[in-house]
Amino acid sequence: MHGYRGKALELLYRFNAYAGEHVIIELDSKRYEGIIMPRYESADDTHIVLKLKNGYNIGISIDRIKSIKSIEGKNQIKIAEVEREDRGLSKIAMISTGGTIASKIDYRTGGVRAMLTAKELYDAIPELGELADIYPEVLFSEYSENLTFRHWSMLAEKIYEKSKEGYKGIVVTHGTDTMHYTAAALSFAVSINKPIVLVGAQRSSDRPSSDAATNLIAATTFASKSDLNGVFVAMHDSISDDTIAIHLGTRVRKNHTSRRDAFKSIGIKPIAYVRNGEIIYNLRVETRREEYILPKFEDKVALLKYHPNMDARLIEYLSELGYKGLVLEGTGLGHVSKYLFNSIEDAIKKGMIICMTSQCIYGRVRMTVYETGRDLLRIGVLPLDDMLPEVALAKLSWALANKEDVKSVMLKNIAMEMSDRSLVD
């Protein structure tokens, strides 16, 4: 019964309980109300997983359970199967790439490893079956730190392919560590008049307090109901489960290692929130563009964070390796040490395009204020306003692979990667 086996399955049979049922579980001194959740085929047979009202999943040892009672009058959730007839709901393509949202605990090592397929993920969150007809596909199963520019190209091509098959929207499950890089890359590589929503989880789906289900439900809600187009990221707005923020793919970054609300919009407010199944729009930005697919990315592009005593030979080495583009994450308004100037100038003369962003989370590069910035402009460094460094890396790689006039493309606002001052949060 949906992953339960052995002693746990016997207990469910004894109390005539099943996965997807709304129940009260009585213990010696406590009682819990919630929905019995499916488990994975490799899970142990000594626990029942219950989703509480607040969205948290808890594992309850079967040795402590005295009774399981169905709550009369409560809506029971039918566990949906992937292979089923089309029920007339919005069609959503769900592309799995791996990461924590598609991971579970390895009880042998105590670590987290990728093992969920998109089908298992769908089965584990039965509420999805009430929102849309989901059509899942595993593109690759990688932790996001292992993703390369080649993976970005593959994902862009798959999204464009799916966009021609009648889907209302595209949901991409992705590891959180580099999800903001991928969101930026897709914002330039593929343009369709449908929402593309990247979603991840800070905690794997079988851990207590997992945010996988709530994030994925919100992403599916936005993909199936929103009339906005573009690339978005759906993640918790706070540490509680009540609101999921929908961030623009070029204006978001991961700001915390482990909190559920790790992702924040930078320079603008989130585009929307999903709360209680409803979309609350914050910014009605126009994201409709001409549809295209330009999925190539130039490999020889780098991002360097300036630091005191930085060795100029780092830049020289990249130039010797034939790198075509470099994004500098400079200080303040867009500065680096004068001791790097000669190496920067030589690299530019050899054809490398060097762009300047800022290490500061908020604000804009302004290289005309101080002498350092003016000298860098004279050398030929391109200032990228308030473009996030991670976005600049993706855009520069994409522009070098697909455009002839790269400098003008980098200074052009294509997907709101440079925020409108009137929309600044």
Catalytic annotation, residues:
100, 176-177, 254
Phi, psi for 48 (deg, rounded to 5): -110, 135
For residues 56 and 13, the answer to whether their CB atoms sit within 8 Å is no
CB atoms within 10 A of CB 177: 18
Query: Cα–Cα distance between 326 and 286 in angstroms, integer?
Result: 30
For residues 355 and 324, the answer to whether their CB atoms sit within 8 Å is no
Nearest to 35 by CA among 125, 111, 152: 125
Q: Burial of 59 by CB count in 10 Å (0-12 exposed, 13-18 middle, 19+ buried)?
A: middle
Token reading at 371: 């002498």
- The CA–CA distances, whole Å, from 295 to 93, 153, 326, 338 equal 19, 5, 20, 37
Q: Burial of 366 by CB count in 10 Å (0-12 exposed, 13-18 middle, 19+ buried)?
A: middle
Q: Provide the residue count of the chain.
A: 425
Grouping H, G, I as helix, E, B as strand and the rest as coil, residue 273 is: strand
Grouping H, G, I as helix, E, B as strand and the rest as coil, residue 249 is: coil
DSSP 40-96: -TTS-SSEEEEEETTS-EEEEEGGG--EEEE-TTSPPPPPP-SS----SSPEEEEEE
Token reading at 60: 């309850």
For residues 382 and 408, the answer to whether their CB atoms sit within 8 Å is no
For residue 185, the one-letter residue type is A
For residues 121 and 136, the answer to whether their CB atoms sit within 8 Å is yes
For residues 223 and 92, the answer to whether their CB atoms sit within 8 Å is yes
